[in-house]
Structure 1
Amino acid sequence: MQQFRIKPNGFAEVRKKMIKRVIPTMLIALIGGIVIAWFNSQGKTGDSNVLPFLVPFFIIVMVYSLVRSINRQKKLFESYTLTIADNVITRQMVNTPEITIYFHEVKDIIKSMEGGFTIMGLEPADIIIIPVQVEKYEELEAVLNQVKPVIAPPASLYLLQKGRIFLSLATAGAMAAIYISDNKIIVGIAGVLGLCLLGWTFFYLSRSKNVDQKTRNSRWAFLLVMAAIIGIMVVKLTAVAE
């Protein structure tokens, strides 16, 4: 039996990547919220006076959420254990479902450009992600090559990973358009786009075994947002033009 864990101080690299990825997303959400509030407050002096108080409040909330998220991810990351024994590969991590893939069920083993590995099983949900910060890296790569030759990521997977930023921007843009615009065509297109993106995210969080239970539970909030979008669409699309 061979076991592989995360090397000491391995999370420091991950924390830097998280901050670089999350902060721009939070700034986009904050700016989007300010823009929406500003447009909705036009002609309402009382509402515009609230913004100087709301912006610092939301900044504090975002910073607090980021710190909590980093601490939670640190706990998950440092509990990571990969076991290869008896013709089976098992990934264990606190607060996440255990993933077990037999050697004969391995479809592909992909090595990312950053150096991490992804083991693809027969079922879509059976995906074991191995971070590059794993200890005994060269030994692990040799073992994986014995299970199935490690391959480079296909172009489609590379585009999907890069497309996550676009999806975040598209979701923020769709939400802003739904709240700001009164044009029925824009509201209709943005509403359908927003519902599709939020629905895909809800489905992904429901199926993924690489997401901790707390994050998975948060997916129910997406249903509330989707319900709000549907409500706004109904009101704006059925409104009689003045």
Structure 2
Amino acid sequence: MEQFGIMENGYKDAMRQGRPKRVYGALLAIFVLFGVFYNKGFKAPENSTPLLIFIAVFAVVIIIAFYLLDKRLRELFESFTLTLEDQLITREQHDTATVSILRNEVTEITKDQHGAFTIKGVSKENIIKIPAQIENSEKLEQLLHIIKPIIVKSNWIFTVRELGFLAILLTAIALVEYSVNKIFIGIGAAILAIGLTYMIIHAQQDRNLDYRTKRGMWLILIAAIPAFRMIYDKLF
């Protein structure tokens, strides 16, 4: 039996690798919000003191939230353990479903440009994602290569699937926000509803996602209530 954990300072390195995706996501969110406010004729109030107080309080809340999130992500990441036995490959992680794949059921093993591995089983739910910050990665690669020849694949910052999904959602939002035709508004609303449902179901089926994040995905429905209330008002 061979067991692998996360290398020292692996969490910091993982955060540096994921920084471009977070930055681009934040820039996109800012761009969308700016577009909405600009087209709505948004104007700052004459008395800016309440607005500044709100911004300051909001900034403090965001900082605290990011600190707590970082603490939780570190605990999750550093608890990652991969065990290779004679017949079984097992991934264990705090507050996350354990994933086990029989060696003879491994269909593909890939390695990306950063050094992260992905082991796929017969079932689409049986996927083990191994971060690049795994300890003794060279030894692990040798052991995995015995199970199945490793395929090297370069991963984009955003996958084609993610970009396509985002483009569809933005199109639906544009239809709902700016169209006066009820048919187009209805189509946009249907796309949004299907998109949100897909996000929640996909998250619940992802065995590499922790339970707390899965529960948090249901909050999307609450966050979407104002949007669907606006859609109802525009349609009826």
TM-score where L is the length of structure 1: 0.79
Of 71-80 and 9-18, deviating more is 9-18
Distance 2:60 2:174 in 1: 22
Equivalent pair of 2:96/2:211 in contact (CA under 8 Å): yes
Q: Would you say 1:224 and 2:222 are equivalent positions? A: yes
Equivalent pair of 1:195/1:226 in contact (CA under 8 Å): no
Residue aligning to 1:103: 103
Partner of 2:21, secondary structure, is helix
Distance 2:63 2:210 in 1: 21
Residue aligning to 1:236: 234
Displacement of 1:177: 5.5
The code of the aligned residue for 1:211 comes to L
Residue aligning to 1:141: 141
> Which deviations, in whole Å up to 9, do the C-alpha atoms of 1:7-47 show, x marking residues without a partner?
11111111123343224423433454455456557699699
Matching of residues 175-190 of structure 1 within 5 Å: 175=173, 178-179=176-177, 182-184=180-182, 186-190=184-188
Partner of 1:187, secondary structure, is helix
CA RMSD in angstroms comes to: 3.4
Q: How many residues align?
A: 236
Of 223-232 and 195-204, deviating more is 223-232
Residue aligning to 1:17: 17
Distance 1:41 1:51 in 2: 17
Matching of residues 81-96 of structure 1 within 5 Å: 81-96=81-96
Partner of 1:218, secondary structure, is helix
* Unpaired runs of at least 5, structure 1: none
Partner of 2:159, secondary structure, is helix
Equivalent pair of 1:88/1:102 in contact (CA under 8 Å): yes
The code of the aligned residue for 2:231 comes to M
Equivalent pair of 1:107/1:122 in contact (CA under 8 Å): yes
Equivalent pair of 1:36/1:180 in contact (CA under 8 Å): no
> Which deviations, in whole Å up to 9, do the C-alpha atoms of 1:105-149 show, x marking residues without a partner?
211111122221111112221110011111111111111111111
Distance 1:169 1:235 in 2: 25
Structure 1 residues 185 and 62: alpha-carbon distance in aligned structure 2, compared to 1, 3 A threshold: farther
* Unpaired runs of at least 5, structure 2: none
Residue aligning to 1:73: 73
Displacement of 1:179: 4.4
Equivalent pair of 1:11/1:74 in contact (CA under 8 Å): yes
